[in-house]
Amino acid sequence: MPTAPAPPTLEESAAYITQLGKPTAAEVLARARTSGRTALQPRCGVGGHREMAVLLKELETEGRPDLLTLTIDSHTRLRRFEHAARALRTDHRTLNGYPLVTHGWQRGRELNELVAVPLEIRHGSPDPRELFATAVACGITSFEGGGISYNLPYSKDVPLADSLAAWTEVDQLCGELAHLGVVMDRELFGTLTAVLIPPSISLAISVLEAVAAAAAGVRCISVSYPQSGHLAQDIAALRAVPVLAARYLPAGLDVHAVLHEFMGVFPRRRHHADDLIFYGAITARLGGASKLITKTYQEAHGIPDAAANAAGLRLAAVARSPLLDFITVDEGAVAEELEWILRETAEIVEPVLAAPRLDSAIVTAFAAGRLDIPFSASRHARSEVIPRRDRDGAVRYHSPGRLPLSRASTERNRRLLDGPARPGAGTTELPGSELFQALRRDIDYFPLLFGELPQDAAAPGGSAADSATSTPGKEPAL
């Protein structure tokens, strides 16, 4: 067999990116923020190379996205490259994403050169060093994840110290690329487990990862946030991103807010799903997001096909129309949410940032529960935080666990959860079985809102229970 060509050096990859003749992800995001026109990006990833090429081309032609995605398969995420190679030899359809390391950097360049928009790698790996090196060799200019957000929601027993160290190496290479004239967009996965995530937890984890990334040399950081479904709360969370960047990050960084359209249980009927997709796009617009990760009307039925993905992009694009400039939000409600989101985030992150070494402080804080993630798959997070929806559908702390929230913050959450306006919503004192059923209703919020489920029903078919008790972080990377 012929010997595979040696991978390019970092300098050669930087030169290739410069000569490629397409914008980088950082340039697309900067233009989106300047113009006020949110960039759109779908999720997509299949195992076969030819099939991946067809999918990317169809999405670019039919959906006109601003960025495209290579979602990576689970074997590659866990560095089981021999398993990915075996699947390619037998049946690539068994893979749940594109095994970039196994296909190799030359095939990756083929995909990159096939489309005019930049590509981003979405994956879920606690140790992405080989994947990142391959992505750079392909000329890909956006790479998602972090040592916390791509470990605790996905992996059962990867020590935080190990994932933080691996991601530091990735971020240091981003710094080297910046010195070579190529700015890599590093998107932080604030979505976490995607199930009832209080905004201050999402933003706190992203702040910690952003501080670490900036110290390692990263120059462009995208802070992603998962749509909760409450307009004022979601807009406030997006508007919090530049405030937090100014407060905790060094000057000169390019920082962007990114909204993931709702990643929980989706309505099954197309017109309801389309309503939710458009609602998410309006939220991104009003929140000033640089980018929106879109959804499709097939979310409740399995992996969306290319046609549904393109339809989701076209629908989201309608929300960018200048004809919709009349749409406004209750700015008073947003301001109140923003004030408390910033306060809670500060209460969570500032004790950690005050420590002499950030990486060891993060590990210690998670072990003690002073940092935590609801419904985590990992034994390295206590998962003692219990979120709930209040009477208006906003996500609050039913129990903050051991998070160092002030008395004022905890009392506000408790007050907003009292006096439910809908059955089982927002009550702070519930026995275990009732709390579980209430959480199921909160997770099934949109199917219930649209009348696809009776108001007194828990999620059928295990949809909510699966989201709440298995590995809720697995699907959101797609």
SS3 annotation, the chain: CCCCCCCCCHHHHHHHHHHCCCCCHHHHHHHHHHHCCCEEECCCCCCCHHHHHHHHHHHHHHHCCCCEEEECCHHHHCCCHHHHHHHHHHCHHHCCCCCHHHHCHHHHHHHHHHCCCCEEEECCCCCCHHHHHHHHHHCCCEEECCCCCCCCCCCCCCCHHHHHHHHHHHHHHHHHHHHCCCCCEEEECCCCCCCCCCHHHHHHHHHHHHHHHHHHCCCEEEEEEECCCCHHHHHHHHHHHHHHHHHHCCCCCEEEEEEECCCCCCCCCHHHHHHHHHHHHHHHHHHCCCEEECCCCCHHHCCCCHHHHHHHHHHHHHCCCHHHCCCCCCHHHHHHHHHHHHHHHHHHHHHHHCCCCHHHHHHHHHHHCCCCCCCCCCCCCCCCCEEEECCCCCEEEEECCCCCCCHHHHHHHHHHHCCCCCCCCCCCCCCHHHHHHHHHHHHCHHHHHCCCCCCCCCCHHHHHHHHHHCCCCCHHHC
Question: Among residues 120, 144, 261, 347, which one is catalytic?
Answer: 144
pLDDT over threshold 90, residue 474: no
pLDDT over threshold 50, residue 471: no
Four-point Cα dihedral 419, 423, 424, 425, nearest 10: -60
Q: Give residue-wise pLDDT tens across range 102-161.
A: 999 999 999 999 999 999 999 999 999 999 999 999 999 999 999 999 999 999 999 999
**Quick one: how far is CA 44 from the chain centroid?**
14
The pLDDT confidence band at residue 468, using thresholds 50, 70 and 90, is very low
413 or 432, higher pLDDT: 413
Give the residue-averaged pLDDT of 325-333: 97
360 or 469, higher pLDDT: 360
pLDDT of res. 4: 65
Q: Give residue-wise pLDDT tens across range 39-67.
A: 999 999 999 999 999 999 999 999 999 99
The pLDDT confidence band at residue 33, using thresholds 50, 70 and 90, is very high
pLDDT of res. 157: 96
Give the residue-averaged pLDDT of 72-83: 97
Least confident of 201-210, 290-299, 453-462: 453-462
Give the residue-averaged pLDDT of 444-455: 92
pLDDT of res. 153: 95
Residue count of the chain: 478
How far is 389 from 427, CA to CA, in rounded Å? 9
Give the residue-averaged pLDDT of 405-422: 86
pLDDT of res. 429: 59
Query: CA nearest 478: which of 151, 60, 41, 83?
Result: 41
pLDDT of res. 456: 63
The pLDDT confidence band at residue 350, using thresholds 50, 70 and 90, is very high
The pLDDT confidence band at residue 462, using thresholds 50, 70 and 90, is very low
414 or 422, higher pLDDT: 414
Residue 314 among the catalytic residues: no
DSSP-assigned beta bridge partners for residue 257: 223
Share of residues in the chain with pLDDT > 90 (%): 89
Q: Specify burial of residue 213 (Cβ count, 10 A radius: 0-12, 13-18, 19+).
A: buried
Residue 144 among the catalytic residues: yes
Share of residues in the chain with pLDDT > 70 (%): 91
Q: What is the mean pLDDT of the chain?
A: 92
pLDDT over threshold 80, residue 466: no
pLDDT over threshold 50, residue 220: yes
Least confident of 253-257, 298-302, 356-360: 298-302
pLDDT of res. 421: 46
Question: Among residues 33, 43, 60, 77, which one is catalytic?
Answer: 77
pLDDT of res. 469: 29
Pull the structure tokens for residue 223.
Answer: 């802070």
Q: Give residue-wise pLDDT tens across range 265-289.
A: 999 999 999 999 999 999 999 999 9
Q: Where do we find the tokens 């996500």? A: 395
pLDDT of res. 199: 98
Give the residue-averaged pLDDT of 305-332: 97
pLDDT of res. 6: 85
State pTM to two decimals: 0.92
